[in-house]
Amino acid sequence: MSGVGIATFMMMPRVAFAAKNSVLSVRTGVQPNGKTRLVIETATRPSYDISYPQNQLVISLTNTGGTFNPKLADGTLVKKISGVQNGDRLNVVADLRKSIAPIDKSSVMVLSPNGDNEYRLVFDFAAGAAVAGGTTSSDTVKPQSEKYVIVIDAGHGGKDPGCIGRGGTKEKVVVLSVAKKLKKELDAAGFKTYLTRSDDTFLKLADRAEIAEKRHADLFLSLHANANPSRATRGYSVYTLSEKASDEEAQKLADTENAVDKIGVSGFENFSKEIRVALSALQQRAVAELSQEYASKCTKAMDSASVDKLPGPSIRHAPFAVLRSTVPGALIELGHLSNASEEKLLKSESHQNKLVRAIVKSVKNYDFDV
């Protein structure tokens, strides 16, 4: 690679903000030690964050605009590079052939202008253990030896009770109780877990998803209990995120769960914009596939524990706002509070423990290393 950057900023589309910096060129090369080198040339001194969504390296440049024609060398770990403008940030998104070891921010070179070159950000990296999906800045990059991180989300809370059983049982209470038990058991099994809420607090859906991102979770489990106008309806069900619901019931459920924030899925402006950047089509597929895989482990474990299942497809899909993130995961409706006998079960310690054991098993059976 010769350092020829094509300055395309003259043709840059007008942007609604006055970006102080602009990307002039992006190029890759192979270092003598075999490492892939990624160089981003900018007009002024760059400020940036690194994140590692699955199979991608994203360099997010603050207060930056610009378009570029990436020059990709043969034999690197980078398949493709694109630029995604997100407000006043320009994200340089590199699709990778293999996952890479985290890049230590202290190893990133920021070169001052010389000769024909302006400022350059230089990243060298090799194939290695992937970092969990999500936005990380290098100082919070997860050490490879660290345990798998699971964020457990007890649905609803505070002013939002969720659904309420005939006997007065509140969804928010049942799911918090199960979430706490689940945390305890997963911690004991060697996972690192976080609860989105550990008491009766109201949390927005985007905040819950964001906790999963911030914790660099490997898996996100959102726990709920269901209600149905038909009192006879009972059983658990498992859902993953998709833009289109798998059936009308799944869509209705997503509408109900999403209504918590009184904002539709499309009302997720701030959050989803950021996530959309990280979520290229490729990555959306990756997250969806992993989520699907977890969901199938979950239904298997629930079935083998003889937990009653809602008749119909094993795994359903719908646009749940809380699942909208770079973290694979599922929304589990533990049962129906609208069914009198299941309401009783959901309140009972022994049934809650049974559910917890099944979910722990599903997590153990899930292949985090895919």
Contacting positions for Zn ion (CB under 5 A):
155, 162, 224
Q: Alpha carbon of 103 to those of 48, 62, 70, 129, 147: distances in Å?
A: 13, 18, 21, 11, 19
Residues 6+ apart with CB under 8 A from 276: 86
**Residue 23 vs 321, nearer CB to Zn ion:** 321
**Residue 87 vs 161, nearer CB to Zn ion:** 161
At closest approach, how far in Å is the CB of 62 from Zn ion?
37
| Spatial contact of 23 and 64, defined as CB atoms under 8 Å apart | yes
| Spatial contact of 245 and 251, defined as CB atoms under 8 Å apart | yes
**Residue 63 vs 198, nearer CB to Zn ion:** 198
**Residue 94 vs 323, nearer CB to Zn ion:** 323
At closest approach, how far in Å is the CB of 325 from Zn ion?
18
At closest approach, how far in Å is the CB of 269 from Zn ion?
23
- Position with the least CB separation from Zn ion: 224
**Residue 133 vs 162, nearer CB to Zn ion:** 162
* 168 half-sphere exposure, CB direction, 13 A CA radius: 0
3-state secondary structure 192-210: EEEECCCCCCCCCHHHHHH
**Residue 55 vs 169, nearer CB to Zn ion:** 169
At closest approach, how far in Å is the CB of 143 from Zn ion?
35
At closest approach, how far in Å is the CB of 156 from Zn ion?
6
**Residue 301 vs 337, nearer CB to Zn ion:** 337
Edge-to-edge strand order for the sheet containing 36-42? 64-65, 21-30, 36-42, 119-125, 109-111
E strand intervals along 139-279:
149-154, 192-195, 219-226, 237-241
Q: What is the DSSP string of 126-139?
A: -B-PPPPSS---GG
At closest approach, how far in Å is the CB of 42 from Zn ion?
46
Residues in the chain: 370
At closest approach, how far in Å is the CB of 194 from Zn ion?
19
